[in-house]
Chain A
Amino acid sequence: MAAIVSVNALKKTYQGGFEALKSVSLDIEDGEILALLGPNGAGKTTLISVICGMVNPTGGAVTVGGHDIITDYRAARALIGLVPQEINLEPFEKVINTVRFSRGLFGKPRDDAKLERILKQLSLWDKKDSRIMELSGGMKRRVLIAKALSHEPRVLFLDEPTAGVDVELRKDMWEIVRGLKEDGVTIILTTHYIEEAEAIADRVGVISDGEILLVKEKAALMSQMGRKELEIELHTATDTIPDALTPYDLTLGKEGKSLIYAYDTGAERTGITKLLSDLAKEGLTMKDVSTRQSSLEDIFVGLVEDAR
């Protein structure tokens, strides 16, 4: 597939010397959903801001649909829709007016039928004459999406669309994103929720400290990242791990009251069934069993260490 957005050795150093982007290169393919994962301050928003025209790059180049974002900014920006992280909306304005304004800004003639379709798709149609300040937080976020879609972009940037959004709404948001992909829109979303990337992305990029650490197909990455821990609480504490259990590479928990088994969810066999039966054979009685997924934090630490 051809790249619709091509980022080449992009650098951004803010006044005061903060290096937000250190030579970022990235190709975003036409029609894909790319999730950019990264902790706060990793450079996700700066990257989006440069591509969309809100921040001037210090070095490097970006093309969107083959158009340079600086020398041919009109053609490049016409292809882009942006949903910012903050809810930036004029509180006194009516929903329909603010969406109409966005469409006009992008040079498209007024088309109420198209806006009706977009607002209905986002379940906003019955709120079209409400003022922004009368809407709930989730509704406001949908208005931002409606504004970004109003001019029929081919590439949509969603900057942390589900930050501070409840589970229900997050799932709605994912549905919306999947629907847009079906319409052929390329979607780039930033997030720090790994489940979000898992739920909707085709590819996942990890960004930290202004550098892209990796970009991978989701399936490949999930198996690599998806380390889980199984903690088996024992009825009676033990201070040694029985010899028969050494192949499992177990570690002893607090005061020998539990055994911890790390496994890979992406592997064909996790070995849990066999471990449990071997435990029983050794005469260890289990009191409780729990699992924990390695957090995104752990994964970042792992990735950053690997990168060095």
Chain B
Amino acid sequence: MNTQAIKSIYIYEMARFFRTLMQSFISPVLSTSLYFVVFGTAIGSRIESVEGVSYGAFIVPGLIMLSVMTQATANASFGIYFPKFIGTIYELLSAPVSFLEIVIGYVGAAATKALFIGCVILGTAYFFVDLQIAHPVAMVAFLLLTCFSFALLGFIIGIWAQNFEQLQLIPLLVITPLVFLGGSFYSISMLPPVWQTITMFNPVVYLISGFRWAFFGTADVPIGISLFAIALFTGACIAVIAWIFKTGYRIKS
């Protein structure tokens, strides 16, 4: 294992993040604050509580998930797409590194950035609402798994994309709607029965539900199923990446 190479990729990617630290830091704080003002205060004052939790607190896990999923995907896809776009990928291909090491480096860095933003949002939330975390270990585990699995998905998108439009396509057309419709701002039980059934096909529901359970001890779907869903998703991403690795899809002719 070329650990030095993994370290180099990780540090190089993180350096890009720190170059724009203010943006990386301020934008999630600002958008979270806006969500709290709009949803928490304006709308939340009319919805007293959801399943015994104040509405302001109820949306915190959903908000964190929303940012973490989009950030992990965006960072990882850009991280690997950019060298492809500007041609510096030659260096990765001609270095004595395995594809696995490349994946660990890029996905690790993207997951770290998403985790950082997740923590920033959680910190910001404490200024607005009273929060108790019922299962801290499970909360951290869910957060880490989500960062990691969506960074894997982002990596796949970055390899697949052949232009900037394609790079934006999946996050914009698939991930954002799924997250919004996945119960970030409401409980599935608030929906009409037909929509409750349809929603169950949205994989993001299981993540948000599981994450919410870690905060409040209540969930839309049983925690076991949530865990199974995220494991399945991670497994699928790893399988696709293994296939890319074997065939050199879109990186090696």
Q: Across the interface, which residues of A come within 8 angstroms of B92, CB to CB?
A: 105
B90 touches A55 (CB 8 A): no
Residues of B contacting A102 with CB < 8 Å? Answer: 91, 95
- The 6 A-B pairs at the shortest CB distance, nearest first, are namely A104-B8, A88-B87, A74-B96, A105-B95, A52-B94, A77-B96
B252: CB under 8 A from chain A? yes
Q: How far is the CA of A288 from the CA of B92 in the complex (A)?
A: 57
- Please, how many residues of chain B have a CB less than 8 angstroms from a CB on the other chain? 27
* Chain A residues proximal to chain B, CB less than 8 Å: 14-15, 52-56, 73-78, 80, 82, 84, 86, 88-92, 97, 100-109, 147
| CB contact list, B74-91 vs A, under 8 A | 82-83, 86-88, 90-91
9 extra interface residue pairs, beta carbon distance < 8 Å, beyond A86-B87, A106-B96: A54-B252, A74-B96, A82-B94, A84-B90, A88-B90, A101-B12, A105-B5, A109-B4, A147-B91
CB distance from B172 to the nearest CB of A (A): 25
Given A84-B87, A97-B15, also A104-B94 (CB < 8 A): no
Contact pick for B94, options A53, A91, A92, A109, CB 8 Å = A53
How many angstroms from the CA of A76 to the CA of B5 in the assembled complex? 16
Given contacts A77-B94, A80-B94, contact A104 B7 (CB under 8 A): yes
CB distance from A101 to the nearest CB of B (A): 5
Query: In the bound complex, how far is the Cα of B96 from the Cα of A103, in angstroms?
Result: 11
Given A90-B88, A97-B12, A108-B4, verify A54-B96 contact (CB < 8 Å). Answer: no
What residues on B are CB-neighbors of A15 within 8 Å? 253
Nearest chain A CB to B174's CB is how many angstroms away? 29
Q: Which residue of A lies closest to B87 (CB)?
A: A88
With both chains docked as a complex, state the minimum distance between the C-beta of B239 and any C-beta of chain A, in angstroms: 22
- Chain B residue numbers with a CB within 8 Å of A92 are 16, 19
> What separation, in Å, do the CA atoms of A52 and B19 have in the docked complex?
32
Contact, CB under 8 Å: B253 / A106: no
Contact among A14, A75, A80, A107 for B5, CB-based, below 8 A: A107
Query: What residues of A have a CB within 8 angstroms of the CB of B4 in the complex?
Result: 104, 107-109
Query: Quick check: A53 and B87 within 8 Å, CB to CB?
Result: no
Known: A74-B2, A107-B2. A88 touches B7 (CB 8 A): no
Complexed CA–CA distance, A77 and B92 (Å): 11
Cα-based distance from A40 to B37 in the complex (angstroms): 62
List the B residue with the shortest CB-CB distance to A82: B94
How far apart are B99's CB and chain A's nearest CB, in angstroms? 11
A82 near B88 with CB under 8 A, answer no
Tell me whether A88 and B86 are in contact in the complex, defined as CB-CB below 8 angstroms, given that A53-B93, A54-B94, A74-B96 are known contacts: yes
Q: Determine the distance from Cα of A97 to Cα of B161 in the docked complex, in whole angstroms.
A: 27
A88 touches B253 (CB 8 A): no
A237 to chain B minimum Cβ distance, whole angstroms, is 57
Tell me which of B2, B5, B82, B252 contacts A55 (CB under 8 A): B252
Instruction: Please state if B8 and A101 are interface contacts (CB–CB under 8 Å).
Output: yes
Tell me whether B177 is interfacial, beta carbon within 8 Å: no
CB distance from A234 to the nearest CB of B (A): 55
CB neighbours (8 Å) of B87 from chain A are 84, 86, 88
Contact with A along B8-23 (1 / 0, CB 8 A): 1101100110010000
Q: Taking CB as reference atom, which chain B residue is nearest A56?
A: B252
Bound CA span A147–B9, Å = 15
Instruction: Give bound CA distance, A156 to B22, whole Å.
Output: 41
Tell me if B235 is interfacial: C-beta within 8 Å of chain A: no
- Tell me whether B248 and A56 are in contact (CB under 8 A): yes
A73 touches B96 (CB 8 A): yes
Chain B residues with CB under 8 Å of A82's CB are 90-91, 94
In the complex, chain B residues whose CB is within 8 Å of the CB of A108: 4
**Across-interface contacts of A109 in B (CB, < 8 A):** 4
Contacts of A103 in B (CB 8 A): 8
Q: Does B170 sit at the interface, judged by CB under 8 A?
A: no
The residues in B between 151 and 180 inclusive whose CB is less than 8 angstroms from any CB of A are: none
Chain B residue, CB-CB nearest to A109: B4
- From B83, B87, B91, B92, residue with most partner A Cβ within 10 Å: B91
Can you list 18 A-B pairs, Cβ within 8 angstroms, ordered by A?
A: A52-B94, A53-B93, A54-B93, A54-B94, A77-B96, A78-B96, A88-B87, A90-B86, A100-B8, A101-B11, A102-B91, A103-B8, A104-B11, A105-B95, A106-B5, A107-B96, A107-B97, A147-B91
A106 engages B95 (CB within 8 Å) = yes
Task: State how many angstroms separate the Cβ of B102 from the closest Cβ of chain A.
Answer: 9
Distance between Cα atoms of A78 and B94 in the complex (Å):
9
Contacts of A53 in B (CB 8 A): 93-94
Q: How far is the CA of A108 from the CA of B19 in the complex (A)?
A: 25
**A54 vs B93: C-alpha distance when bound (angstroms):** 5
Distance A105 CA – B87 CA, assembled complex (angstroms): 16
Contact A14 B86 (CB under 8 A): no
B74 CB to nearest A CB, Å? 18
- Report the separation of the CA atoms of residues A100 and B91 in the bound assembly, to the nearest whole angstrom: 13
A109 vs B12: C-alpha distance when bound (angstroms)? 15
Residue of A nearest to B9 (CB): A105
